[in-house]
Structures are given as structure tokens and as C-alpha cells.
Structure 1
Amino acid sequence: MASARVTGTTAAPPGTGRATARARDWAEIQERMLVPLYEAVHDRLEVGPATSVLGLGCRSGLALLLAAGRGAQVAGLEPDDALRGLARERRLRVGADRPPEADVARSAYSLVTVFEQPPPGTEPRRTVAGAARLVLPGGHVVLAAWGPRERCESAAVLDVARRMARRSGARDPFELSPPGALEDLLAGTGLRPAGGGRVGCPFAYPDLESALRGLLATGLYDAAAEFSGPALVTKELEEALQPYLRPDGTVRMTNVFRYLIAERPR
């Protein structure tokens, strides 16, 4: 069996240095896997110079950067210090828990995106209700989730996080995947469904080390690492990736993500 020598996230010392290394692993390795999702949403809603975008949980901001490249006015919210710092390095206006100072005069946006699953302890309905309060009449909120488990080869790899977290509060990545799950989050928000779609987002890495670093940077394995220890989680994750390791050393898993567009009536 091939063995990966992980020099990024998993080998970094505890504390700020490790948080920074993991944030960079997300920005440099994992974030680009979701570009097909971002671009599909931007195409569907014709994001351009007339669009004002707020990304909730925008992480290091690639989706916002792509929207800005289309001429949109963009801002974001990201509670993680290291990820927010990387977004700001990209010259994006990103605040911790409220819109950045440059956006104080703007009380709402024409598009609010929630591409990332809320972290454990955060109720998804509250996240959606908050997004609804920040969108203009006639504007849109976009929610995203993993597609059907059976359509995602990464499901077996993500199962490591569930198994090794036991009952410590890890969130099931596929909890919002069943039909109607995203739509149910709109109840009581004043938003109404206005379309959606499915997008192929293959997870492709140049080698096993990059795959480990990228996946661990998602945060989905945090509860497992806390419960079972980082070294054991890394070992189990490496084992789970073996079926997707190709003869040339690359790693590839096909996946489907789904998105829901919700509209705030005028």
C-alpha cells in the first residue's frame, strides 16, 4: 500500500500555525473542486455588473473572486480567522460576523450564497433565515449541499469522519441531500423555491498527500480527530482513499452537488 508523507495540515503543530496551514490547504488544494458549482450558479443567475453578492461562510473567497471577475460587487462573512485572512489577501471585503465596513451603507444584496454546510452546533434553518434577511426583494438566496450519497464516490471517504467521531457531534455531510431537504429550510423565511440543479464536482488530486491535506482542510474530520486522534484519522482516511488511487499516483473521485435557488418576493 502506498503511504503518504503529509507535510501540510496534518503535520503542522497545534495552534495558529496549524490553523494557517489548514486554511492554505483549503485555498490551494480543496476549494477549486467546487468551481463547477460556483460557475453553474453564476451562469444560472447571470451574475454580472448589476449583481451585489454576499457570501455567507465564504471561507477563503474563491466563489466571490469568480463573481467579481464577472463584474459583480462582492462581500463575504467568514468566522474563521485564517480563512478570512486569506480572503482579504485576495483583496476581498470579508467580515467576521457582519458585513465589512465598506458595506455598512448596504443593508441587503441581490444574491446571498450559502455554498458551505453550517458547522456543527449551527442550526441550518437559522443560517437560511439570516440569509433571507440580507437579500433584496426580487433577489435570490442560493443553498448548496452534497448530491445523493450513491452519486458521490467521496461518500465512502467521508464516512471515516462519521465512524471515528462516534457520538461527538460530527455533522453528516449528506443530511441535506435527500429530496426536499433544502426546500424544507425555507419554511417561515419568506423565501420561495425558484429552481435549482445538480452539478458534477470531481475531487481530483495530483497525489495522495494532496488528497489527504485537501480533505482534512474541509473541517469535516475535526470531530473525528478530536475523538480518535489526528494520526489515526489520517491513517484511516489514507486507507479509504486507496480505491481511488490511480496507477499514475493521482486520486480522483466523482461527485454530484445540488443547489437550490430561493427568491424573495417583491
Structure 2
Amino acid sequence: MNGAEWEGALWGTRALDWADVQQPTIRPVSAAVLGEFGGWQRRTLLDIGCGAGDFAGMASELGAKVSGLDASAALIEIARQRSPTGTFHVGDMQDIPFPDNHFSIVTAFNSVHFADDPARAFAEMMRVTSPGGSMVVATWGPPAECDAVSYLLDLGSLMPQRPPGPQPLLDPTDPDDLRALLTTAGLTLSPWRTVSCPWEYPDLSTALRGLLSTGPAAQAINHSGPARVTDIITESIAPYRRDDGSYLLSNTCYYLVALLSGTDAPARPPQPATPQEGRR
């Protein structure tokens, strides 16, 4: 089993819970990206790591011709059901199953850091983007801006110890790491945009449905068992419980627009960075 197949198996373990509870938590950044571009009726979109097709579905409602790629067969099946006019494939972002210059916009929301070789994934994204097209890449903000980090750290204590050897090539908690990789690829990059993407749940039961549906949770369950993981998540999110029994974890999502050479560009041109737009 290669890396993409392994990730697909993890993220598909509780596919319906991911689709119904957890993936919608990034809709604020999805809406912001949709607002970057005008005239979606003439756009062709590929979403990399599309999951259950949430963003693709939003773009389709605006008239885009949508496609999606994800390593999880279970999530792709949900995407196909929810957007029957779209084209969705199970596959590896390092070997995108579409021809060259095929899409006007290619997006990746919090997904590229799962690639064994992120540079190769970016090269594939560039290959399938048409001249004058755009790539949009989103990632979580640094730990100080994301309450979700405490949940991920606590899950990490329940996973197998990482064997000695090379570390991951892309730090998911450092937006500058991702930006440096894109800069190396020779792309024209916008400043970082930042969007608040809270994880909000009406009660503990819903919170556990969402937080147990992630790939890291599935990996922890495989190693430590569901009861132990459920207990640890319950303890981890206790500080974020509100008086009415709901939960709120505040998080920031960063995204940028990368332009390929040509004339097609976002409807809103890149703006100078402000303190709300991140560190670059």
C-alpha cells in the first residue's frame, strides 16, 4: 500500500461523519476562495484532496464545471452522489489523472502536506492548470492561531512512534514552509489571505463524530483503540466547552492564489498584506 492508499483508507473510515460534520468547518475559506474569482460559469475546476466534494459542490452551484481527486474511495463516492454532474476520481495528487492544461482553476485545501513529495504534487497541479489559470492553496495557520493543534498533539500521543529517518517535507503548521515551496516553483503568488475557520459543535456527541472522522484519529484508533481515543479527545476539547454544552475551537486558515503565466486572473487582484492577512 503506497502513501496515498494508506491515507485514503484512514480518511475513509468514517466518511459520512467527515462529510456531514468535519469537512464543512472549512466553508468560510471555501466561500472566500469562491469570492476571489468572477464568472464561475466559464470556469473548469479541479479540487485536489476534495474529500466529500464540499467545495466542488459550492463551485458547481455557481456554474463551474467541477472535478475532484481524493485518495479515499468512500469520500469520492459521497462526492459523486452530491455532485452528479461532476467528475471525481480516486487517486494520488502526485499523479493526477487528467491531461495537461485542462483546468482554469486548481485548488488544494489543507491537503498537499499529506503528499509524500509535495513538490511533485505542485508540479502535477501546475501541469493540469491551463496557461493563464490559477492555483489556490490553503493551509492551517501556525499553532498560536489554531486551537485544533491541541487536539492533534493529543492524538499524536496515541499513534505509533515515528521511526528514525527523513521528516515530512512540508510542515502543515507553518504557512511560510508552503510558500517557500511554491516560490521555488517560479509561480507568481498573492499575499496570504487569512480566514477564521472555527470548529463549532452543538454538543459533545457531534464534536466526537467530527473529530473521530479525521485521518489522524483513525490512525490513533488503529494503534490505541476507540475507547482510549474517544477519552483523549473528550479531555482535549474540554477547555473549549461553553456553558450551553456546545464547543468552539478557534482556528485560522491561510490561503494564497498562484498565477500561471497568461491573462486569466482573480477578479480581486492581490492586495498588500495587512496584519489580518498573515505574515507575508
Q: TM-score, normalised by structure 2?
A: 0.79
Cα pair distance change 1:135/1:120, threshold 3 Å:
closer
* Cα displacement (A) at 1:20: 6.4
- Unaligned 5+ segments in structure 2 are 1-9, 263-280
CA contact (8 A) 2:188 2:259 kept: yes
Higher deviation after alignment, 77-86 or 47-56 = 47-56
Where 2:192 maps in the other structure, the secondary structure is: strand
Higher deviation after alignment, 155-164 or 236-245 = 155-164
* Cα displacement (A) at 1:96: 1.5
Cα pair distance change 1:19/1:106, threshold 3 Å:
closer
Structure 1 residue runs of 4+, over 4 Å off?
Answer: 18-21, 103-107
- Unaligned 5+ segments in structure 1 are 1-17
Determine the structure 2 residue equivalent to 1:250: 246
Cα pair distance change 1:39/1:120, threshold 3 Å:
closer
Q: Percent identity?
A: 33
Determine the structure 1 residue equivalent to 2:270: none
Determine the structure 2 residue equivalent to 1:97: 91
Aligned residue among 191, 198, 201 for 1:202: 198
Higher deviation after alignment, 220-229 or 81-90 = 220-229
Cα pair distance change 1:122/1:19, threshold 3 Å:
closer
Determine the structure 2 residue equivalent to 1:224: 220
Q: How does 1:5-154 map to 2 (within 5 A)?
A: 22-46=14-38, 48-90=40-82, 91=84, 92-97=86-91, 107-118=101-112, 120=114, 122-154=116-148
Where 2:14 maps in the other structure, the secondary structure is: helix
CA contact (8 A) 1:168 1:223 kept: no
CA contact (8 A) 1:132 1:190 kept: no
Determine the structure 1 residue equivalent to 2:181: 185
The CA distance in 1 between the partners of 2:48 and 2:174, in whole Å, is 22
* Cα displacement (A) at 1:210: 1.1
Root-mean-square deviation (CA, aligned residues, Å) is 2.6
CA contact (8 A) 2:140 2:253 kept: yes
Determine the structure 2 residue equivalent to 1:14: none
Where 1:74 maps in the other structure, the secondary structure is: strand
Q: TM-score, normalised by structure 1?
A: 0.82
The CA distance in 2 between the partners of 1:195 and 1:47, in whole Å, is 22
Cα pair distance change 1:176/1:21, threshold 3 Å:
closer
Report the residue type matching 2:141 in the other structure.
G
Instruction: Describe the superposition over 1:234-259 as per-residue Cα deviations: whole angstroms up to 9, x where unpaired.
Output: 21111111111122111111110001
Q: Report the count of equivalent residues.
A: 244
